[in-house]
Amino acid sequence: MNPFGEFGVNSLNFFNRFGKKSILLSSNRHKNTYLRNMLIKLYDKDNAPETLEKVTAVLENGGLIIYPTDTMYAIGCHALKERAVERICRIKGIDPKKNNLSIICYDLSEISRYAKMGNATFKLMKRCLPGPFTFILDGTSRLPKIFRSRKEVGIRMPDNPVIREIARQLDAPIMTASLPFDKDDDPGYATDPELIDEKWGKTVDLVIDGGCGSIAASTIVDCTGPEPLILRQGLGSLLP
């Protein structure tokens, strides 16, 4: 089985569409398989379909991408590709048995497939999303086992047209985590796509330039109890 579908090791089509720069990946099952490592520009609208196809192809084949959100730039992967999720956990230094993982969904309908929400939570999320929030909900069995180490899952629907269009095209949730960033770090390495690529380009398979980012965090709201509980006040406000 070809792990990259139409883009095999000897496929000129893969090289023509994805550029010249590559990194060599090896595994026990697939040897000498190439995956792109690149920086591409995406805009709020009118992106070329073939450019979006490059992004979804990387995700569908277990690659990692860095992309803009409505808060910080984030690192993500296809949420149903467990090995890719494990790679992000290693990069972030987090234990999925002790830390909640988060996913980006395109809309509320998709959220309902991967998380449980009552009427009050649905209305709250409908009012706040898309927006700079992470809602903590009980996950469903549709999520891979690595998410089910903890029963809760973080839900994001960023108010950013770039990552929302990628999520729509992928037709699957995107596991998401903010880029590792310390308060003593140069903010440029979390906000400037070229500097992000300089620091992280060899760690991930694709960096998306969606313009200058932010170092603001999302507001985390726990909706697993009887009333919503703000665990971290970030950019989003629950006030009407």
Which contiguous run of DSSP H or E holds residue 13? Answer: helix 12-18
C-alpha 224/C-alpha 109 separation (Å) is 19
Question: Could you report the per-residue pLDDT of 68-82, keeping only the tens digit for each?
Answer: 999 999 999 999 999
Q: Is residue 6 part of a domain?
A: no
Mean residue pLDDT across the chain: 87
43-67 pLDDT, tens digit per residue, is 999 999 999 999 999 999 999 999 9
The answer to whether position 171 is within a domain reads yes
Contact 211, 217 (CB under 8 A): no
Q: Which domain does 70 fall in, by range? A: 37-210+218-232
- At 149-184, the pLDDT tens digits run 889 999 999 999 999 999 999 999 999 999 998 888
Structure tokens at 160: 């950013």
pLDDT tens readout for residues 185-236: 899 999 999 999 999 999 999 999 999 999 999 999 999 999 999 999 999 9
Rounded to whole angstroms, the Cα distance separating 218 from 237 reads: 10
pLDDT of residue 170: 98
Q: Is residue 31 part of a domain?
A: no
Number of domains present in the structure of the chain:
1
Determine the pLDDT at residue 37. 65
Please say if the pLDDT value at position 147 is more than 70.
yes
Residue 128, helix vs strand vs coil: helix
CATH number at residue 186: 3.90.870.10
Q: Examine residue 135 and state whether it is found in any structural domain, yes or no.
A: yes
Q: Does some domain include residue 152?
A: yes
Contacts for 89 with CB less than 8 Å, ≥ 6 apart: 95, 96, 101, 146
| Assigned token pair, 222 | 């726990």
Q: How many helices, marked H, and strands, marked E, lie in the chain?
A: 8, 13
Nearest alpha carbon to residue 92 among 68, 75, 117: 75
